[in-house]
Chains A and B, each alone.
Chain A
């Protein structure tokens, strides 16, 4: 019976076609999807690369002929042709000799190649025999082999050497002959090659000059280089372009789409059909400093460098990436992470501006930020360290005692000696501690002097201000002075009144000496010429002119007491009473009287009569002393008192300010709003900062930035970002209080900083960049060499606004340089000297002395020490020792000068040289003493250059020589003329008619004059200037006082 097929057998009973079809469809679909993903979905950069190849090829096709034409133009230029001809001529001249050498080399090469074979074969054979001899087991065998070596060396080795005429000669050599001949030929060839180079020396030099000329005069690449780029595009591989720095686990694939970013040509959007993604990096100089192979892209720009699947992912603009790409307007935020210690950074003007604002607008008064205005912290740390040293010293002294006792009681002499030696060593150790403590005390005194406040000292309000003006100011400082750095607090009327009352009542009561009125016309002239405008502006709105570093003075006459203003101008650092940080109070005359001391406070009398503590004897202002006389101070103050609006309405009476009941309440609010962050206020001198530390605010988790009621809408609308938080807060600090119901004391306190959109951008850039370190320390710019001196120095330069008067950076104008008064030829001559290259110019020791006392005199203070002819005054900044050290190091480092400076020894002048130098120096063709000051007041009235007697101490000889040869190359526009010397036979020769005595002098005239200047004595200069005066015709002698300068 046939078996019944099983009805349940699925193979028989069911068709699997449908599921199989479905499965295979899915499989095919998946395959398609996988293929799609492989080629497009996950690799959106592929079409980018293809597009780039297309556009770049098109660009090059167009650019190469253009560039070739440009190159052709250079090649056709007269200068290039001249060089080309010189090269051709030199090459032609060398050609016979060169071809002769080449022929000989060719012949030699043929013989060498034959001989090499023969020689190497022979040497191999002998080498093998030698090895066998060395390793032979029996003495006999060894000797036998040695004999065989001798035999083999006899040869003959036959070489069939080619002869230049084409025939072949056969020579039999012994091994020694062979070796000798082989070496001889090789040497001959080397000497021929050297001869060839000598023969072509001139031609090579011309070729180099020709090529250099082409490079200098052709903008961009040469045609050949461009063609190289073209070939590069032809062989372009479509693949992930990746930067991988294993040390830091950095992987950046940005260049997979931004393919052109590092191309050596400049590709603009227009060049690439408007595709921004293909442009070259806009700042090639920046890329040179930050080699992308080491720094990648994302450390500076943000974004997720590994992501390649979409623009959003790669740019890090999605929820799970904490470091999104910086927007273009804040792109410099990326600099801050590594350059946090730089206050002035090349290529980062927006960031620089942000940092400057952070400091200058007083953000730092409330918000701590590492590295900014940390004198107080450092002072505390230094004081603690001194205490530790003292404790260590006391411990050492006790230890000495013990060692001596142990030594006295020791059983053996050896033991005693050991203990005594121990005591001795400790004593020497103490002397080291003493030296260290001394330095720390200097440092502490420096720090005390360096600590400045953003705002004025409010202890002086009673002597300085009109009482009723204060509430008007507090109400809205920006309404009264739109450019002020004082922010506007959102004060309730009762808070305002209480604060005003507290400030007024905590002011020092003192009676300033009554000053007679000055001459406002003379004061105006002083104001315009002494340099006040480098920091201060005057005039309101459109009419304002001057610097923005300090207050706009256009309304100062409406609020200030004249007597105080005179004192302030005479010495802004003067304070009515000194502050003792140990007693935490201001000292009065009574404190001094109790100890029988005169009530004198200056930097020489700065210790507390009660406890010897270093006192704060200066007001915490950066405003320097201009070393004016009291009369000049009165003139200036009288002028400033005229700076007021026409008939200002009287300020409302504010008698409540004298109500003692308001004082305590006022103190509460003053403390609440953190006024003491910027101002010195009685009883609140040691207050800390009330705001958030912003050092790493840029990477604070977004949840910790309080968007308050805006959290959800911001999230939904996509502006819950650091950038938006900072921007909104800066534009309106109360923004996130909207809708909140909170007690007064818990409302946002941050005052309105009165910043423009540009300033908001700068500050936001700075804050966005202020992040936790996301990269290893090795990336951070924390140099330990001279670059650190530069880094540190900028903080001082910025702190005192040196750039108000001086040009410090190449290409950056000082404030004075921008003022109308300094645009005329006469005005330009009155500009303070640029400080670019000052380190190469000035002896650092002299510079330190000058910075301390720019008058260069202990008694004659009302003058400039060097440029007596400048009306702008180099002020006395009362810099601390530490600041002077930093500034000197800064300028030396900027000019790459080694430290410490050891003046080079100059050869003393021989009698003949002295005579010659004197003749050149006083020659009518080089009337040095006509322009340079001599110290004779009648002469110096018309002098426009410094006194030569300063040269020896002040200048460096190398710089001085470079200066007299080409002054305009060092200071463009200088009054010192160029062309005093001309180059002749490898030396500089005076270009005027040579005095008789100098004829035949083989030395360098510029060098001779420099040595002369460095050895010039006062007596000699007097003699020379006397001689010049005597040579003048009698009728005009001694009347130079009448000189009229025609302006």
Chain B
């Protein structure tokens, strides 16, 4: 035993006490409880359900659509007697835009919705995707068909879901896939036919629509509340509007898309 220790013997008591009190330093207890799961919102009452409807107007006249040349695959070219035009920007005769994906972006809080049993269908027909834009709920089946007499490969390029790329020869069995995560919107392409392009919007809820030949959309069965409605177009991006609907109310929300305004 060293002198130093002997000299220190006077502090024994203090040290013993210290040791008894727990000795070595201990940081304060850290309580790390996971944040409690937010409770799911109330279910939708059909008796009070509201509707949002409207149309998407294109502000810039009627642009000349791009013609698709299918010469790279003679089988595709042979399927069409008349010229085929790109679906990227389709302006209807009444000045509205077709293939705009309109959906509820915010306002549903934590409500959950059952996954529809019916699959959404995406067909490869005439070396084009039908429909050009399709919306599904998360985990809802997407049934992919090949109605053509040529081989396609279907290749979604998602950011948040898993990517896959599957060959579909003519007469192939329908391919059934689903997307477990919300994503707006997943481009789908066919590497063999570079002009083929489709978009799949995946949402956790059923409040979405794609504008058709009259450029209108209807979102039915909405619980009363305040919502942000977004209209997304593949070339021009998205525009948003806020709307508040009361019980059983129907409100009209019209969107106007101009190439310049939608750029930002």
Contacts and interface: CB of A to CB of B under 8 A. Distances in A.
B151 interface: yes
A269 B172 CA distance: 55
B151 A1043 contact: no
15 contacts: A33-B1, A34-B1, A273-B30, A825-B197, A923-B169, A924-B149, A927-B73, A931-B192, A976-B165, A977-B165, A977-B167, A978-B165, A1036-B78, A1045-B194, A1046-B194
Interface string B68-110: 1111111101100000001010000000000000000000000
Contacts of A925: 151, 167, 169-170, 172
A884 B62 CA distance: 57
A945 B194 CA distance: 13
Interface in A413-470: none
A974 B157 CA distance: 10
A497 B195 CA distance: 61
A46 to B, nearest CB: 9
A825 B189 contact: yes
Interface stretch (B18-26, B49-57, B111-119): B18-26
A412 B192 CA distance: 86
Size bin of chain A's contact surface: 35 or more
B167 A979 contact: yes
B71 A1040 contact: yes
Interface in A956-990: 967-968, 972-980
Contact of B9 (A30, A44, A270): A30
A922 to B, nearest CB: 12
Contact of A931 (B12, B69, B86, B191): B191
Contacts of A276: 27
Size bin of chain B's contact surface: 35 or more
Interface of B: 1, 5-6, 8-9, 12, 15-16, 19, 22-24, 26-32, 66-75, 77-78, 86, 88, 149-151, 153, 155, 157, 163-167, 169-172, 187, 189, 191-192, 194-195, 197
Contacts of A32: 9, 12
Given A32-B12, A36-B16, A927 B150 contact: yes
A29 interface: yes
A932 B23 CA distance: 74
Contacts of A924: 75, 149-151, 169-170
Contacts of B1: 30, 33-34, 37
B192 to A, nearest CB: 5
Interface of A: 29-30, 32-34, 36-37, 40-41, 44, 47-48, 51, 268-270, 273-276, 311, 824-825, 828-829, 923-927, 930-931, 942, 944, 967-968, 972-980, 991-993, 1031-1033, 1035-1037, 1039-1040, 1042-1046
A860 B27 CA distance: 70
A1031 B30 contact: no
A1032 B74 contact: yes
A942 B190 CA distance: 13
B72 A942 contact: yes
Given A924-B169, A977-B166, A30 B71 contact: no
Contacts of A977: 153, 155, 165-167, 191
Contacts of B197: 825, 1046
Given A924-B170, A1046-B86, A975 B155 contact: yes
B5 to A, nearest CB: 6
A275 B195 CA distance: 60
Given A930-B72, A992-B170, 12 more contacts: A29-B12, A36-B12, A40-B19, A41-B15, A925-B151, A973-B163, A975-B155, A977-B155, A977-B191, A1037-B74, A1039-B69, A1046-B197
Contacts of A980: 167
B170 A1036 contact: no
Contacts of A1037: 74
A273 B72 CA distance: 67
Contact of B66 (A979, A1032, A1046): A1046
Given A33-B6, A36-B12, A1037-B74, A825 B157 contact: yes
A1044 B30 contact: no
A978 B12 CA distance: 76
Nearest to A829: B191
Contacts of A44: 23-24
Contacts of B88: 1046
B77 A1033 contact: yes
B30 A270 contact: yes
Majority-rule SS of A interface residues: loop
B6 A30 contact: yes
Given A925-B151, A1042-B69, A975 B165 contact: yes
9 nearest interchain CB pairs?
Answer: A1032-B74, A925-B169, A992-B169, A977-B153, A274-B30, A270-B32, A977-B167, A975-B191, A825-B157
A927 B191 CA distance: 11
Given A34-B1, A1036-B77, A275 B165 contact: no
A930 B192 contact: yes
Contacts of B86: 1046
Nearest to B27: A274
Given A37-B5, A41-B15, A930 B167 contact: no
Contacts of B149: 924
A1036 B195 CA distance: 16
A29 B9 CA distance: 7
Nearest to B157: A825
Given A30-B6, A927-B192, A968-B164, A47 B19 contact: yes
A1044 B68 contact: yes
Contacts of A269: 30
Contacts of B150: 924, 927
A1036 B165 CA distance: 28
Nearest to B159: A823
Contacts of A1035: 77
B195 A992 contact: no
A824 B187 contact: yes
Q: Which of A968, A1039, A1042 has the most CB of B within 10 A?
A: A968
Contacts of B12: 29, 32-33, 36
Contact of B169 (A51, A926, A972): A926
A1036 B74 contact: yes
Contacts of A944: 191, 194
Nearest to B190: A977
A1039 B71 CA distance: 7
Contacts of B74: 1031-1033, 1036-1037
A1044 B86 CA distance: 10
Contacts of B68: 1044, 1046
Contacts of A1042: 69, 71
A254 to B, nearest CB: 15
B197 to A, nearest CB: 7
Contacts of A273: 26, 29-30
A941 B166 CA distance: 24
Given A33-B5, A1036-B74, A979 B19 contact: no
A977 B153 CA distance: 6
Nearest to B149: A924
Contacts of B167: 925-926, 977-980, 991-992
